[in-house]
Amino acid sequence: MRLNENYGTLSETLNELKKQGYTIDFNIHSECLVCHQTNIVLQPEEFQIDMVYRFEGASDPDDQSIVYAISSPKFNVKGSLVNGYGIFAEEMPSKLIEKLQTHAAPHSTKEKSIDATPQRKEGGRVIEAPLVGINIPEFIEIIKREPTWKDSDHNSVTVFKSERMRIVLMGLHKGGQLKPHKANGVISVQVLEGSIEFVTEEDKVTLRKGQMIALQENITHSVVALEESFFLLTLAKG
């Protein structure tokens, strides 16, 4: 049985996979996958990945996910694994990373567009292509127009996304913050408007318009806006 490359939204994909026999919900635990309902434990060498599906969230970099359709001939089971892959996705075990990345969908320069969301109903915006133009002032205005900007201390929009790089434009109200977290890749932060305080466990840096920093992967950091600020957050994966 051949799986389709696209079933629609995340929930539609999970429902369709269940119809195709992928009924078990797998979770990451230590260096293996587990199913708490059946107590099945799969080591990396005991399962294969049949298909990978990626989904873009509405505006928050946290709200992004990847679905793996997984089967194990050894145990004669099939199921799905849902895992975050955004800027702030939690670090996964090394052996499992190697397994999942090895079976990830191959990189392609085929044009990709973002789907419509409840907040951004227009959809169709190109986020990956051989060449992607990014109109920063226009995206800042989009962020400011949206309800999320009025109702919370920050809003963001992904302006480019590929297998190895993601660029997110983030806006924070004065006093708005990104709580301490780690990134699963090297990041850079470039301030476009305003000023922010970028904090790690060992350093604290104030960045103003035109300034930027680079940070190695898996270093805990946080951000606080000293005034209304907008900055580009770029994540590069190895």
C-alpha dist (Å) from residue 51 to 30, 67, 118: 23, 8, 27
pTM to 2 decimal places: 0.57
* Residue pLDDT tens, the chain, 238 long: 578 777 878 888 999 999 999 999 998 876 778 887 788 899 888 999 898 887 765 444 445 678 889 999 999 999 999 876 544 444 455 566 666 765 554 444 455 555 444 455 455 577 888 888 899 999 999 999 999 999 999 999 999 988 889 999 999 999 999 999 999 899 999 999 999 999 999 999 999 999 999 999 999 999 999 999 999 999 998 6
Cβ contact 178:60 at 8 Å: no
- What is the chain's length? 238
Domains and CATH numbers, the chain: 10-102 (no CATH), 112-236 (2.60.120.10)
3-state SS class at 87: coil
pLDDT digits (tens, 9 = 90+) for 11-48: 889 999 999 999 999 988 767 788 877 888 998 889 99
Extract the tokens encoding 42: 């799969």
